[in-house]
A and B are shown apart, each in its own frame.
Chain A
Amino acid sequence: MDSALIPKGVKRCPLPKFAIGISAVGAVLLWGVFAMLLCWFKGLNQTNMNDYYGFALWIWADLAVIALGGGAFFTGFLKYVVGKDELKNIINYAVLIGFVCYSSALLILAIDIGQPLRGWFIFWHANVHSMLTEVAFCLSCYFGVLTIEYLPLIFENRQVDKVPFFHNLSHNMHEIMAVFAATGAFLSFFHQGSLGGVAGVLFGRPFAERSGLFIWPWTFFLFTWSAAACGPCFTLLITKMTEAITKKKLVKDNVVDLLAKIAGWMLFTYMVAKIADTVYWAMVTTPENGFAIGEFYSNWFYNYWWLAAELGTGAVAAIILVTRAGRHNKFSFVIALISAVICVCLNRWVMVLQVMAVPVMSFDTWALYYPSWQEVATTILPVAYGIILISISYRYLPIFPQEHELNSVE
């Protein structure tokens, strides 16, 4: 029925089957939309946040999806700026995943600010002393860049491409894509960094505070580094999941291997820096602030297992990805990708939620926070939205240039 819209030379499942799948995920999406509307119409009393616990599940989800969406900027940087031309076969998917991640981050922020009608205040009444203002600027601009990178894919749909204007526009946008990609890399470097920088300059929260270089705490660099390392791993993980669901090979092994190898070395060097940062923070920064490291891990929930899990998953992923044998073994490769994704999500969790939970004053107790169902539903909402957008894009747009060659259809 919709065969005229499907890219030439590739096979897709029947429309009814596709519609059933989309409807199932759509039900989850509607649940999230209902919770979102409750937050907008009734206010933030729908959440379990309060004045003490202002950074909660949403901010973790925000930071996590931004880190996971880092595959778009780093793959774009590698392809257009460094000149790794093989990555042209996966860049479309990286852009799509980045688009999903960043639009999700903006959606979560729109719910989190409580009064979305005043969202433009952050631009108009900008607080130029806040790293979060820089994050808002870069996030919005980079979402614009991702939209520009995603648009040519829509214009390349079989029917849209027949319109001469869209065909020419798509061609022109491809021609100067390096300019947009370089701008995206510039913006991403700063907003990923500033998200980490926020934690590092929280002088009132010794669990997060770090020393640094000039005005930038080490967390500034570690956040950018981890996003550049784990973002491509997320892109590869979603690619592998798409291949498993569609039962097709979509990207050639040499392309996957190249991106995995680069991500692996980024992750390896990140882990060395992260461990060094953790040791210095535990041995020097924390005692100087009058704390013992054990105080930060003395809760039944927040204990040393969090630290071990974060460093352990990162180390496992890095070791597998930098070795040829590790990358070429299907099982260990997927384990490495999952570990890298868990590593960066744990890192963002610790830097947002554990920071708020650790007692600061001698009379303080651990502040454990349980999200309300509305918070959970609105956090799952982007996942459902992402699945739907990826499914529709895969069905109707030429996302994988090598798909036809790898899966010839008579």
Chain B
Amino acid sequence: MFPIISFEWVWDMSHIVFMGGLWYALSVIGMGMTWCIIKAVVDTCQGNAAGHHH
């Protein structure tokens, strides 16, 4: 699953495409949520209330 750490890892096209796709998706989701949470914490500490959004 992880390059270098995992003993089963091989630097071939299958691993790069499969695991690359997985890590790409996880990175987008992870970074997106991290940004949302950090901004919410900052906004809350500063007392900024966001407007309603639908």
Interface residues of A (CB under 8 A from B): 88, 123-126, 128-129, 133-134, 137-138, 141, 144-145, 148, 164-165, 167-176, 179-180, 183, 186-187, 190, 401
B39→A174 contact, CB < 8 A: no
Interface on chain B toward A: helix, strand, loop, or mixed SS? helix
B32→A176 contact, CB < 8 A: yes
B28→A183 contact, CB < 8 A: yes
Q: How far is the CA of A376 from the CA of B53 in the complex (A)?
A: 42
A133→B18 contact, CB < 8 A: yes
Known: A124-B1, A129-B14, A134-B18. A164 touches B44 (CB 8 A): yes
CB proximity to A under 8 Å, residues B5-54? 6, 8, 14-15, 17-19, 21-22, 25-26, 28-29, 32-33, 35-37, 39-41, 43-44, 47-54
A192 CB, min distance to chain B CBs, angstroms: 15
A80 CB, min distance to chain B CBs, angstroms: 13
Residues of B within 8 A of A164 (CB): 43-44, 47, 49
Which of A123, A133, A141, A167 contacts B25, CB < 8 Å? Answer: A141
26 A-B pairs whose Cβ atoms sit less than 8 Å apart in the complex: A88-B54, A126-B1, A126-B18, A128-B14, A128-B19, A134-B18, A134-B21, A141-B25, A148-B33, A165-B44, A167-B49, A167-B50, A168-B39, A168-B40, A168-B43, A168-B44, A169-B37, A169-B40, A171-B40, A171-B51, A172-B35, A173-B36, A175-B53, A180-B32, A183-B29, A401-B54
Which of B6, B14, B39 contacts A172, CB < 8 Å? Answer: B39
Which of A126, A167, A179, A187 contacts B32, CB < 8 Å? Answer: A179
Known: A124-B1, A165-B40, A176-B36. A141 touches B29 (CB 8 A): yes
B40→A172 contact, CB < 8 A: yes
Q: How far is the CA of A148 from the CA of B36 in the complex (A)?
A: 11
Residues of A within 8 A of B8 (CB): 125
* B interface residue count range (under 10 / 10 to 19 / 20 to 34 / 35 or more): 20 to 34
Q: How far is the CA of A170 from the CA of B52 in the complex (A)?
A: 9
Residues of B within 8 A of A138 (CB): 25
Q: How far is the CA of A144 from the CA of B29 in the complex (A)?
A: 8
A168→B50 contact, CB < 8 A: yes
Q: How far is the CA of A167 from the CA of B41 in the complex (A)?
A: 11
Residues of A within 8 A of B18 (CB): 126, 128, 133-134, 137
Q: How far is the CA of A170 from the CA of B36 in the complex (A)?
A: 8
Q: How far is the CA of A176 from the CA of B17 in the complex (A)?
A: 26
A78 CB, min distance to chain B CBs, angstroms: 17
Nearest A-chain residue to B50, judged by Cβ: A171
B2 CB, min distance to chain A CBs, angstroms: 9
Q: How far is the CA of A234 from the CA of B42 in the complex (A)?
A: 40
Residues of B within 8 A of A88 (CB): 54
Nearest B-chain residue to A144, judged by Cβ: B29
A399 CB, min distance to chain B CBs, angstroms: 11
Residues of A within 8 A of B54 (CB): 88, 174, 401
B29→A145 contact, CB < 8 A: yes
Residues of A within 8 A of B41 (CB): 165
